[in-house]
Amino acid sequence: MLRRPAPALAPAARLLLAGLLCGGGVWAARVNKHKPWLEPTYHGIVTENDNAVLLDPPLIALDKDAPLRFAESFEVTVTKEGEICGFKIHRQNVPFDAVVVDKSTGEGVIRSKEKLDCELQKDYSFTIQAYDCGKGPDGTNVKKSHKATVHIQVNDVNEYAPVFKEKSYKATVVEGKQYDSILRVEAMDADCSPQFSQICSYEIITPDVPFTVDKDGYIKNTEKLNYGKEHQYKLTVTAYDCGKKRATEDVLVKISVKPTCAPGWQGWNNRIEYEPGTGALAVFPNIHLETCDEPVASVQATVELETSHIGKGCDRDTYSEKSLHRLCGAAAGTAELLPSPSGSLNWTVGLPTDNGHDSDQVFEFNGTQAVRIPDGIVSVNPKEPFTISVWMRHGPFGRKKETILCSSDKTDMNRHHYSLYVHGCRLIFLLRQDPSEEKKYRPAEFHWKLNQVCDEEWHHYVLNVEFPSVTLYVDGTSHEPFSVTEDYPLHPSKIETQLVVGACWQEFSGVENDNETEPVTVASAGGDLHMTQYFRGNLAGLTLRSGKLADKKVIDCLYTCKEGLDLQVPEDSGRGVQIQAHPSQLVLTLEGEDIGELDKAMQHISYLNSRQFPTPGIRRLKITSTIKCFNEATCISVPPVDGYVMVLQPEEPKISLSGVHHFARAASEFESSEGVFLFPELRIISTITREVEPEGDGAEDPTVQESLVSEEIVHDLDTCEVTVEGEELNHEQESLEVDMARLQQKGIEVSSSELGMTFTGVDTMASYEEVLHLLRYRNWHARSLLDRKFKLICSELNGRYISNEFKVEVNVIHTANPVEHANHMAAQPQFVHPEHRSFVDLSGHNLANPHPFAVVPSTATVVIVVCVSFLVFMIILGVFRIRAAHQRTMRDQDTGKENEMDWDDSALTITVNPMEVGVGRRPPRLRGSAGQGLREASMARLLRVHTLSIASSAQQAWGLGVFMGKPRLREALFKAVLPTKCGGELCQGWALLAMGLLREFSGGVAEVLSPAALYVGDSMGTHWSFVFPSLLFCCCC
């Protein structure tokens, strides 16, 4: 292989090589043969608000290729070998840059490219590498150092203030106790460093409070707290971090102080108000049981409603006992032996009562009072079943016999046929058989020993007697007699019996009766008969029904209260709670293991009164509790709870009776079979008055008064009594009648007497209206009757609410019958006026025209207007006539005595019967004083003989009235005119006028006035329209 010959060296090269070989002063060539060097690890610190990183050790890259710093002066470096041109960070998303500060020395710095946030990232780690500038002017053959690790920590700045975890804090403490810690408040700081993120202290800002807080936020009391001094404390607490920065918002701490824990029921009100008609009312809506954190196995709570002071043990309907039996479905025939006093049932008037109608009316027997039941009220046949029912309150008054009810001989003997009496705490019923029974021993006395008889509380007793069996029910519970005594039947006799309540009736003979009894202590009751074995206590609702026994449902209905406790527990509450309710609805018992569920059940207990008008007053409430604990030694006891329900006074209804007060009917209607309806337009309503508060702005204005609003309501009635005013009813000629079939359909009973008629039974106001519309009054001798007055009163709840007195006056219209009078000659047709009679009802305050022949008000008005107008005309004419007569008298006195005998016929024209006076004959004209007596005598003779016809001319009637001044003439006038049958209505009216003038101008004319009154009185029934103006005219005169 051929080799290429080496080129010849240039002259310069030869010289340089020679210099190097020969020694100093000759240039030496430099090459980049070393890599930069860094420390293996760097630690840096940077502050949040700064970008310069302080590294330890400092960032310096070394390179062995770097020129000597202290070379000889003649040495000159013309190459870049050994310089550091930069640093490179190896990691993405690192917010730092590495910058070379001095290339020759390799010094560099690390700076942040953006603002750092310690709260987001506290430290960073990455690798860094240095590289040199290479060799030669172009920087080729660049050398890199190894990778060094850099750790940078971001220093925190105290930029955030502490913030509390809760907006407020609450705690409850018990008074009198010192706590190491009540509660802890805690704040946080958003700074990242321990110095600024930690809370170093807390402080209570509120001054003068007995509390302190430590550096960890625990609050405790500095002294024992007193519930009576302060119920609750409110504290303001703040926090500081270790940089002494305070929280921007302080926190509120509420510490409640409760009394020393005592087990018991809490959250109930002592007084609960019940408004009538509002339904059920929760009595313990917020109640709960406090056990003071003691472990409890089970709890039993008994809630009792105390109503013994209300009525007969509780609130019941206060209707009469007979009405209550009917409402409960008992058969008819119940006789009430102690009714409320009324017109027809008045034998209890003398007994002391409770003097009020808010609750049941009870009768008090103090050992000296008794009442005899009138004959015919009730009768008992021992062979037939019968029932005795009574409410009784009796105390331990010794061992004497006290009779409730006794039927004994009325005269001669002292035998007790049947009786119910108390002996100590025993209730004894005696029943003797009739003499018709076989003469052998039969059950006669039945004994029950009961605590209820002498506990001074109200109890309901029912005796079902069906010989030989006698069953006693006390408060709805049956009791069998513990002893039965036998006896012979009674001896035969025809002696009547006397039924007495509160004692026994017997003859005062000093001999005991044939029943076993203690020596008789008698008190005079009149005659030879006296009372014995007086009762001491209270009785009410004593009834006796013969022929049928009381059903158990009826007995329960009579005893059941209308008020009580109710418990309706929702499905999601009261689980695991056992509930027991007493039949009286006055006692509830609850038992459970879970106190929370028991509390929920207790919160649903309610009071309910179903009466429309309940008895107002207080009902006591009592809760008694029994606790069973796991550890009986430390078991807690719960004190009883006492409260009351206040039943407010119900709105009192106002029962109003309205209708026609005054009307008149023809006598024939009273005598008819139907009679006259007394209350055809009666209306019964009831209203209550409520206070209505103003709405809107007026509700807050004290000057605005409350308005009263009347509201109509619907309720029942139990009594309506119709009484006659004036004389009592005479059943021989008058009566009150009603449709009995309609009464039986309504269930309303009726009783009548000489005083009137009484309707009893609980029914609606509409039913009583319908029944009273049909009440009729009959009088089959109405010719002798002028008017009759009646009074109606209705009531509710046995007289608790009474209506107004509604009075009705009925007038009898008498029609004058034609009377035949002797006449010399039949009246000529031209003198006969047709007479049309019509009957007018005079209703006084109200016009009632239910009949087709009644005159309408417009016709009566026309008649009155015409009569008054005519009266005014006659008065004017009379004044004119009197004045004219006076002037003529004065003129006659002036002209002399020769004119005294002249006949002045200007004031009177007398028409005589043309059949009695000859044609062409005229009365003689007499002149002078001598003819005065003759003229009067002649006129009197004519008036006695002939009939005056004054109906044809009103002027003639006036003339007669003027002529009344003549004493002899007026007497003859009335004796002639009044007994005569006039031909028209006007005649009778002017006869009244004449009678009035007679009374005005003359006295002592009884013989004239008597026949006039009789005649006019017979005419008044038909011609009222003419009587009125005549009487008015007489008064004017």
Q: Are residues 535 and 683 in the same domain?
A: no
Neighbours of 801 (CB within 10 A): 18
Residue 520 has pLDDT above 60, yes or no: no
Q: What is the pLDDT of residues 38-96, one digit of tens each?
A: 889 999 888 887 888 888 899 888 887 766 443 344 444 445 667 888 898 888 888 88
Residue 437: the pLDDT is: 60
Domain boundary among 524, 559, 594: 559
Q: Are residues 663 and 799 in the same domain?
A: yes
- Residue range 12-33: mean pLDDT, rounded: 46
pLDDT score for 902: 40
The mean pLDDT value for 401-412 works out to 89
List for the chain the helix, strand, coil content (%; round to 5): 20, 35, 45
- Asked whether residue 823 is assigned to any structural domain, the reply reads no
User: Do 516 and 489 sit in the same domain of this protein?
Assistant: yes
Please report the pLDDT score of residue 414 as a whole number: 77
pLDDT tens across 434-451, in order? 776 667 778 889 999 999
Say if 698 falls within a structural domain.
Answer: no
For range 677-690, the mean pLDDT: 93
Three-state SS at 991 = helix
Strand 617-628 and strand 641-647: the pairing is: antiparallel
Instruction: State the maximum Cα–Cα separation within the chain, in Å, rounded to a whole number.
Output: 228
More confident residue, 71 or 138: 138
Percent of all residues in the chain with a pLDDT value above 90, rounded to a whole number: 33
Per the DSSP assignment, residues forming a β-bridge with 763 are 717
Residue 517, pLDDT > 60, answer no
Q: Are residues 131 and 187 in the same domain?
A: no
Residue 120: per-residue pLDDT: 82
818 in any annotated domain = no
**For residue 834, is it within any domain?**
no
Q: Do 88 and 189 reside in the same domain of the chain?
A: no
- Cis peptide upstream of residue 58 (ω within 30 degrees of 0): no
- In angstroms, the Cα distances linking 983 to 142, 833, 950, 997 are 170, 7, 9, 22
Q: What is the pLDDT of residues 988-1016, one digit of tens each?
A: 444 545 554 444 444 433 333 333 333 33
| Residue 451, token pair as written in the block | 């605590």
Say yes or no: 664 and 716 in one domain. Answer: yes
H-type helices in 542-604, by residue range?
552-559, 595-602
Is 300 a domain residue?
no
Torsion of CA 431, 434, 435, 436, to 10 degrees: -140
Domain-located, residue 448: yes
Total structural domains in the chain? 6
Read off the pLDDT band of 534 (50, 70, 90).
very high
Average pLDDT, the chain: 76
Whether residue 141 is found in the same domain as residue 176: no
Positive or negative, the CA dihedral 659, 660, 666, 670 is positive
Least confidently predicted of 67-76, 636-645, 944-953: 944-953
- C-alpha closest to that of 404 among 363, 451, 432, 434: 363
Tell me, yes or no, whether 639 lies in a domain: yes
Mean pLDDT of 312-321: 84
Helices (H), 95-203: 194-197
Q: Give the pLDDT confidence score for residue 681 in this predicted structure.
A: 94
Q: What is the C-alpha to C-alpha distance for residues 354 and 794, in angstroms, rounded to an integer? A: 22
Q: Residue 537 has what pLDDT?
A: 92
Q: Are 129 and 147 in contact (CB under 8 A)?
A: yes
> Which domain-ending residue is among 527, 542, 559?
559
The answer to whether 760 touches 722, Cβ cutoff 8 Å, is: no
Tell me which of 37-46, 844-853, 891-900 is least confident: 844-853
The pLDDT score that the predictor gives to residue 154 is 86
CB neighbour class for 89 (10 Å; exposed up to 12, middle 13-18, buried from 19): middle
pLDDT category of residue 852 using cuts at 50, 70 and 90 = very low
Domain containing residue 282: 277-293+563-647
CATH number at residue 220: 2.60.40.60
**Residue at 307 is within a domain:** no
Q: Do 183 and 140 belong together in one domain?
A: no
pLDDT reported for residue 867: 84
> Domain boundary residue among 117, 135, 155?
155
| Strand pairing report for 271-274 and 641-647 | parallel
Are 391 and 419 within one domain? yes
What's the 3-state SS for 2-59? Answer: CCCCCCCCCHHHHHHHHHHHHCCCCCCCCCCCCCCECCCEEEEEEECCCCECEEECCE
pLDDT at 723 over 50: yes
Tell me which of 137-151, 247-261, 450-464 is least confident: 137-151
Query: Could you tell me the CATH number of the domain that includes residue 534?
Result: 2.60.120.200
Q: What is the pLDDT of residues 356-397, one digit of tens each?
A: 555 567 899 988 889 999 988 888 888 889 999 999 999 987
Q: Is 959 a residue whose pLDDT tops 80?
A: no
84 and 102 part of one domain: yes
Averaged pLDDT for residues 515-529 = 40
* Same structural domain, 237 and 356: no
Q: How far apart are CA 772 and CA 757, in angstroms?
A: 11
> For residue 355, is pLDDT > 60?
no
pTM: 0.56
Question: Based on the domain organization, do 747 and 640 belong to the same domain?
Answer: no
Strands of the sheet containing 96-102, edge to edge, are 59-60, 107-112, 96-102
CA atoms within a 13 Å half-sphere pointing along the CA-CB vector of 247: 26
Continuous segment of H or E residues that includes residue 290: strand 288-290
